[in-house]
């Protein structure tokens, strides 16, 4: 029991990064970071990693951008 508690604490200590809501990878941002300070944070969706943000952002912009 005591061992498990210690392990949980250790896991929490390491798991301070917020994870990407799309792929579940840890992002560069701390869970306590204010969302205004974050990159790749989508309001209403949550934190995305760089890869997912770019994939979603560019896929969306491709269909909405006017032809050059």
User: From the list 23, 35, 45, 54, which residue makes contact with Zn ion (rule: CB under 5 A)?
Assistant: 23
**Per-residue x/- marks for Zn ion, 49-68, CB under 5 A?**
x--x----------------
Interface segment toward Zn ion; rule CB under 5 A; list 3-11, 12-20, 36-44, 55-63: 12-20
DSSP state letter for 36:
G
> Which residues lie closer than 8 Å to 27 by C-beta, 6 or more apart?
17, 18, 19, 20, 40, 47, 48, 49, 50
Binding site for Zn ion (CB under 5 A): 20, 22-23, 49, 52
């Amino acid at each position: 029991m005591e061992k498990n508690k210690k392990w949980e604490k250790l896991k929490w200590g390491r798991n301070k990064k917020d994870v990407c809501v799309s792929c579940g990878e840890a992002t560069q941002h701390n869970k306590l970071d204010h969302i205004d300070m974050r990159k790749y944070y989508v309001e209403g969706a949550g934190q995305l990693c760089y890869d997912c943000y770019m994939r979603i952002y560019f896929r969306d912009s491709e269909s909405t951008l006017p032809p050059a």
